[in-house]
Structure 1
Amino acid sequence: MNPEECFLLGTVRKPHGLRGELSIFLDVDDPGRYEHLESVLVELRQEDGSARLIPFFVESMRLTGPLTLMRLEGLGSLEEAEPFRGARLFLPLEALPPLKGDQFYYHEILGFRIVDEAMGPLGEITDVYELPAQDLIVMQYRESEILIPIQDEVVKGVDRTKRELYCHLPDGLLDIYLNS
């Protein structure tokens, strides 16, 4: 399995204790949904510098606020856990919980068309930037890259069948990009 078929679950912060437990930061909205994982894919660096996703069975998990303590099968000491420091954890896309209504995962709207309430169909979503201040949709429009804030006032809905994302773009947003 490769990372394109998966979603990022979190990152190993560091080994915890002397028995191979790992301190994990779960980068998800509701860590409790993942409290009973059977397995996880760990992105580990190989000797040649490349990275591979390696499956591991999860022996135990304990949610401790924003961090989680996880024990993976085969890790029994601090020395065995140390190479996992900084490793990213993945799960297959099929493991994502289904969303209701107008909720969407960022990876699923790539290639969708933006439809504005006033202007109609505009362009295609090429990327989503997850920034500390705000997440942004990247739309290709008239050979320009347009950044659209992901806010309830702007993003109004999604139609997965038509592959469209409905928006109410702020006045003047397109002009900023087209007149520069």
Structure 2
Amino acid sequence: MKTELYLPLDLLPKLDGDKFYFHEVIGFTIKDENYGEVGVLRGINDSTAQALFEIDRDGVEILIPMNDEFIVKVDREHKTIIVNTPVGLIDLYLE
């Protein structure tokens, strides 16, 4: 058939807790438990084996794996995702 199918967003089931649709978290602030504020989520790259948060920090792109072990909390009210990444991961992008 090779045709695209579009589903109105209001028909998607509502997710809560730490589960989310990619489109709903774009623009959220990413904060790391150890590092502090990382930046703003600009996109999600799901073309790799492990989906990645694409975060903008003052023009520098930081990639963090979207791993359930790293995601601590999704705070929809404050538009924030709290992560706990391995020590040094964020610094790799900022040095």
Q: TM-score, normalised by structure 1?
A: 0.50
User: SS of the residue aligned with 2:77?
Assistant: coil
Which runs of structure 2 are paired with 1:105-124 in the superposition (5 Å)?
105-124=21-40
Which runs of structure 2 are paired with 1:1-180 in the superposition (5 Å)?
85-179=1-95
In 1, the alpha carbon distance for the partners of 2:34 and 2:64 equals: 15
Q: Which has the higher strand share?
A: 1
* 1:133 positional shift: 0.6
- Which AA in structure 1 matches 2:94? L
Q: TM-score, normalised by structure 2?
A: 0.91
Q: For 1:41-61, what per-residue CA distance to the aligned partner results, in whole angstroms no more than 9, with x for missing partners?
A: xxxxxxxxxxxxxxxxxxxxx
* 1:156 positional shift: 1.1
In 2, the alpha carbon distance for the partners of 1:139 and 1:169 equals: 14
In 2, the alpha carbon distance for the partners of 1:138 and 1:97 equals: 25
Q: For 1:8-41, what per-residue CA distance to the aligned partner results, in whole angstroms no more than 9, with x for missing partners?
A: xxxxxxxxxxxxxxxxxxxxxxxxxxxxxxxxxx
- Which AA in structure 1 matches 2:88? G
Return the structure number with greater relative CO, CA threshold 8 A, min gap 6. 2
- Which AA in structure 2 matches 1:165? I
Q: How many residues align?
A: 95
In our comparison, the structure showing a higher alpha carbon Rg is: 1
In 2, the alpha carbon distance for the partners of 1:132 and 1:148 equals: 12
* 1:165 positional shift: 0.3
In 1, the alpha carbon distance for the partners of 2:50 and 2:37 equals: 24
- On the 8 A contact 2:18/2:71 being kept in 1, the answer is no
User: SS of the residue aligned with 2:23?
Assistant: helix
- Which AA in structure 1 matches 2:36? G
Q: Which runs of 5+ in 1 are unaligned?
A: 1-84
Aligned-pair identity in percent equals 41
* 1:119 positional shift: 2.1
In 2, the alpha carbon distance for the partners of 1:107 and 1:140 equals: 16
Q: For 1:43-102, what per-residue CA distance to the aligned partner results, in whole angstroms no more than 9, with x for missing partners?
A: xxxxxxxxxxxxxxxxxxxxxxxxxxxxxxxxxxxxxxxxxx321111100011011311
User: SS of the residue aligned with 1:94?
Assistant: helix
